[in-house]
């Protein structure tokens, strides 16, 4: 059984409630439920946490060390700004997959830069809620391969 943390950053609590023309009508609760259900098919125990605060994201990453087998992280806007988040991931010794609902590379230039990408094992973006599902599957494969030696 793999233990996976799905970690969501700022403003993602508003999903499905504001600006549906930009981010769609799927709520964060629907994404969390989808992750738990998909995790069950992969023999993963999925827990989730959302915060609007950079320090709380860093605390959650620190707390995952030695507890979680992997993290699926949508750092929201902090993706493009936070060296502190990048440093936390570097020191956590927990594999992280970066996810985004939107294709950040097809959006404004400031979204093309990700501080997370340099320290994540990979990035999934552009598939809406399915980005999370794909990331869970990728983590399952990554962990199985790593543990096989
Ligand atoms: O596409 C993604 O998942 C993003 O991480 C979403 C972030 C954005 O800053 C990143 O560049 C890409 C923004 C999340 C804001 O979510 C909202 C949801 C509803 C209403 C307003 C904001």
Has residue 63 got a pLDDT over 90? yes
Determine the structural domain holding residue 20 and report its residue range.
Answer: 2-148
71 Cβ contact partners less than 8 Å away, ≥ 6 residues apart? 4, 5, 6, 7, 61, 64, 92, 94, 95, 96, 97
Predicted local distance difference test score (pLDDT) of residue 19 = 86
Averaged pLDDT for residues 50-54:
98
Strands ordered across the beta sheet of 96-100: 44-50, 2-8, 70-74, 96-100, 122-125
Predicted local distance difference test score (pLDDT) of residue 149 = 74
Nearest CA to ligand 1 atom 15: 11
Is 23 designated active site?
yes
Name the band, by pLDDT with cuts 50, 70 and 90, for residue 144: very high
Q: Pick the catalytic residue: 38, 48, 78, 100?
A: 100
Predicted local distance difference test score (pLDDT) of residue 84 = 98
Atom of ligand 1 nearest to the CA of 76: 5
Atom of ligand 1 nearest to the CA of 102: 1
CATH number for 51: 3.40.50.9100
User: How crowded is residue 127: how many other Cβ atoms within 10 Å of its Cβ?
Assistant: 16
Nearest CA to ligand 1 atom 2: 100
Residues with CB under 6 A from ligand 1: 11-12, 14-15, 18-19, 23, 74, 76-77, 79, 100-102, 104, 111
Predicted local distance difference test score (pLDDT) of residue 140 = 98
**Domain tally, the chain:** 1
Instruction: Kindly report, residue by residue over 65-116, the tens digit of the pLDDT.
Output: 999 999 999 999 999 999 999 999 999 999 999 999 999 999 999 999 999 9
């Amino acid at each position: 059984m793999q233990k996976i943390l799905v970690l969501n950053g700022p403003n993602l609590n508003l999903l499905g409630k504001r600006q549906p023309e930009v981010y769609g009508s799927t709520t964060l609760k629907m994404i969390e439920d989808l992750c738990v259900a998909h995790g069950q098919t992969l023999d993963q125990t999925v827990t989730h946490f959302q915060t609007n605060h950079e320090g709380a994201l860093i605390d959650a990453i620190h707390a995952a060390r030695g507890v979680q087998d992997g993290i699926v992280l949508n750092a929201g806007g902090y993706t493009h700004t936070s060296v502190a988040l990048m440093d936390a991931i570097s020191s956590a010794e927990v594999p992280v997959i970066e996810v985004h609902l939107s294709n950040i590379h097809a959006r404004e230039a400031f979204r093309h830069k990700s501080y997370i990408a340099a320290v994540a094992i990979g990035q999934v973006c552009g598939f809406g809620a399915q980005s999370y599902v794909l990331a869970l599957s990728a983590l399952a494969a990554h962990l199985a391969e790593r543990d096989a030696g």
